[in-house]
C-alpha cells in the first residue's frame, strides 16, 4: 500500500491510536511533525531526529519554491535527499504563508498574488501552482491550497473563505485524481476552514468529506483566538470528518494544546513552537515552561534539565553557560534548547500513545493541564 491510515483504537472525537502508512515508512499516531520550513530545522540536526523519536517532518512548498527552487531541489536528488531525511514528509501548500504575509499578498478568486520572498516580483500562487509544485517536490503528503481567513470572527469573510476553499479543494482533488491519486506516491489532504463558526466548520468538513480526500486537516486555528476557542474549532471540525481518515491540526502546539487536541480525536500536529521557544530561551519541563534568562540560572552548573535523556542535556553544558551564551547570541544555546524542546514534545506524544493504549490517558491529560493550563484571571 502506498498510503493509508489504520485506526487501531479510539472514537470519532476521543483519543485515537493509529498508523499512517506512507511510501517512506509508517508513522504512529498521534504524532508531532517538526517544522523544517525551508527543508531544515532551526537547531536540531537531521541525524538526531530518528533517535529522538521523530517519524514525520513538515516542509513548506511555497518557501521551498522561493528558495532553493524546485529545479535545485530536483538537481540535489529530491526533497527527502535535500532534507537528509528518509522518512515521511508533509508539505504545506502556502495558504498560511499568504495569510501570514498578508502585507505582501493579495487574494482573488483564482489564488494569491504574492511577492516572491527572494526577489520581490509578484507570483501567481494558485491552486494549480501549489498542486504542481508539490507534485514536483514529491512529499508523502501534499496539502491543498486553501484560504485561511485573517479575521476568524468576521462571518462574512469566513463564509467567503470557506466557499473559496471548497472550490479550490475540488479543483485540486480533480488534479490529484488525474495524476493517479495515492498511486502517484503522494497523498492529498483537504483543509477545514470556518473560523469560530460551528455551522461553517461543519459545512466545510461535510463538503470536503464528500470529495473523499486521503486525510483531513483543520486550518485557521491557533491564529490568536485563545485556547478555548481553538478547542471549539477542533470539535466543530472533527464531528463531520470520517472516522477512518487521519486528522491533522495545523500549527499546534504547546503541551496543553497537544493533549487537549488528542483528547478530541486529532492524529497529527506540526508547530514551530519547540524550536522558536528555544531561540528565545524557553525550555519545556514537567514543571512547565522555564526561562533560561531567569537570574536564578546565572551560576547554575546543572545541565538544562537534569534527568532528561536528550542529546542537548547529555552534552552537560551548564544552564549558566547556556544563559550567558544566549544573551550574547551564540548559536549553540539556541540549538540545544530547540533540540531539548523538540525531544520533550516528541516524548510527550509517545507518552500519550502509551497512555491511550493502557487506558491512563485521562491521568496524563490531568497532569499536563495541572502544569500548563494558565490560572484563571
Ligand atoms: Zn533535554
The CATH number that applies at residue 248 is 3.20.20.105
What pTM was computed for the model? 0.97
Whole-angstrom CA distances from 188 to 23, 116, 217, 245 are 13, 25, 10, 12
Give φ, ψ of 271 to 5 degrees. Answer: -170, 145
Q: Is 5 inside a domain boundary? A: no
Residues 264 and 284 in one domain: no
Residues 229 and 303 in one domain: no
* DSSP of 16-29: -EEEEEETTEEEEE
Residues 203 and 297 in one domain: no
Give the span between the Cα atoms of 254 and 337, in whole angstroms: 15
Predicted confidence band of residue 376 (pLDDT cuts 50, 70, 90): confident
Q: Is 107 inside a domain boundary? A: yes
Residues 88 and 226 in one domain: yes
* DSSP of 73-120: HHHTT-HHHHHT--S-EEEE-SHHHHHHTGGGEEEETTEEEEE-TTT-
Q: Which of residues 233, 252, 271 is at a domain's end?
A: 271
Known catalytic residues are 92, 270
Q: Is 377 inside a domain boundary? A: no
Q: Which of residues 271, 293, 315 is at a domain's end?
A: 271
Residues 359 and 264 in one domain: no
Residue 12 has pLDDT above 80, yes or no: no
Reading the block at residue 137, the C-alpha cell is 517536490
Residues 124 and 219 in one domain: yes
Distance 119 CA to ligand 1 centre (A): 39
Residues 231 and 301 in one domain: no
Q: Which of residues 218, 250, 271 is at a domain's end?
A: 271
Residues 193 and 319 in one domain: no
Q: Is 318 inside a domain boundary? A: yes
Q: Is 8 inside a domain boundary? A: no
Surface-to-core class of residue 300, CB atoms within 10 Å of its CB (0-12 exposed, 13-18 middle, 19+ buried): middle
Per-residue pLDDT tens over the stretch 125-147: 999 999 999 999 999 999 999 99
Q: How many domains does the chain have?
A: 2
Give the span between the Cα atoms of 300 and 290, in whole angstroms: 14
Distance 344 CA to ligand 1 centre (A): 7
Residues 303 and 345 in one domain: yes
Distance 131 CA to ligand 1 centre (A): 38
pLDDT at 319: 98
Q: Is 1 inside a domain boundary? A: no
Per-residue pLDDT tens over the stretch 25-65: 999 999 999 999 999 999 999 999 999 999 999 999 999 99
Residues 200 and 327 in one domain: no
Residues 214 and 288 in one domain: no
Q: Are 97 and 30 in contact (CB under 8 A)?
A: no
Query: Could you tell me the residue range of the domain that residue 136 belongs to?
Result: 15-271
Average pLDDT for the chain = 95
* DSSP of 279-306: HTTEE--TT--EETTSGGGTT--S-SST
Q: Is 7 inside a domain boundary? A: no
Give the span between the Cα atoms of 127 and 143, in whole angstroms: 10
Per-residue pLDDT tens over the stretch 232-270: 999 999 999 999 999 999 999 999 999 999 999 999 999
Q: Is 46 inside a domain boundary? A: yes
Distance 283 CA to ligand 1 centre (A): 9
Q: What does the radius of gyration of the chain's CA atoms come to, in whole angstroms?
A: 20
Amino acid at each position: 500500500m502506498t498510503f493509508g491510515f489504520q485506526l487501531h483504537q479510539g472514537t470519532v472525537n476521543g483519543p485515537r491510536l493509529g498508523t499512517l502508512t506512507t511510501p517512506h515508512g509508517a508513522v504512529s499516531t498521534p504524532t508531532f511533525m517538526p517544522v523544517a520550513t525551508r527543508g531544515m530545522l532551526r537547531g536540531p540536526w537531521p541525524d538526531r531526529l530518528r533517535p529522538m523519536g521523530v517519524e514525520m517532518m513538515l516542509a513548506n512548498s511555497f518557501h521551498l519554491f522561493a528558495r532553493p527552487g524546485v529545479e535545485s531541489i530536483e538537481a540535489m536528488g529530491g526533497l527527502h535527499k535535500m532534507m537528509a531525511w528518509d522518512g515521511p514528509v508533509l508539505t504545506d501548500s502556502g495558504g498560511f504563508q499568504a495569510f501570514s504575509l498578508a502585507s505582501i499578498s493579495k487574494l482573488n478568486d483564482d489564488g494569491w498574488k504574492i511577492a516572491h520572498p527572494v526577489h520581490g516580483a509578484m507570483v501567481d500562487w494558485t491552486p494549480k501552482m501549489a498542486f504542481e509544485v508539490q507534485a514536483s517536490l514529491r512529499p508523502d503528503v501534499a496539502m491543498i491550497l486553501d484560504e485561511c481567513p485573517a479575521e476568524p470572527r468576521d462571518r462574512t469573510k469566513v463564509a467567503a473563505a470557506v466557499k473559496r476553499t471548497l472550490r479550490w479543494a475540488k479543483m485540486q482533488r480533480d488534479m490529484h485524481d488525474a495524476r493517479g491519486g495515492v498511486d502517484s506516491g503522494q497523498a492529498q489532504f483537504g483543509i477545514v476552514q470556518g473560523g469560530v463558526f460551528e455551522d461553517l466548520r461543519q459545512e466545510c468538513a461535510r463538503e470536503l468529506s464528500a470529495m473523499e480526500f486521503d486525510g483531513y486537516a483543520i486550518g485557521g486555528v491557533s491564529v490568536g483566538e485563545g485556547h478555548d476557542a481553538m478547542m471549539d474549532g477542533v470539535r466543530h471540525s472533527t464531528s463531520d470528518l470520517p472516522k477512518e481518515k487521519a486528522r491533522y491540526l495545523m500549527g499546534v502546539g504547546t503541551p496543553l494544546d497537544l493533549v487537549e487536541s488528542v483528547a478530541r480525536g486529532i492524529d497529527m500536529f506540526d508547530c514551530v513552537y519547540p524550536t522558536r521557544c528555544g531561540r528565545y530561551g524557553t525550555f519545556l519541563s514537567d514543571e512547565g515552561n522555564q526561562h533560561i534568562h531567569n537570574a536564578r540560572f546565572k551560576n547554575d552548573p546543572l545541565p538544562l534539565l537534569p534527568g532528561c535523556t536528550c542529546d542537548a542535556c547529555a552534552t552537560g553544558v551548564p544552564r549558566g553557560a547556556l544563559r550567558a551564551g544566549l544573551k550574547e547570541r551564540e548559536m549553540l544555546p539556541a540549538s540545544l534548547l530547540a533540540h531539548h524542546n523538540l525531544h520533550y514534545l516528541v516524548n510527550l506524544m509517545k507518552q500519550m500513545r502509551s497512555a491511550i493504549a493502557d487506558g491512563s490517558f485521562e491521568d496524563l491529560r490531568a497532569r499536563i493541564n495541572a502544569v500548563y493550563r494558565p490560572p484563571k484571571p
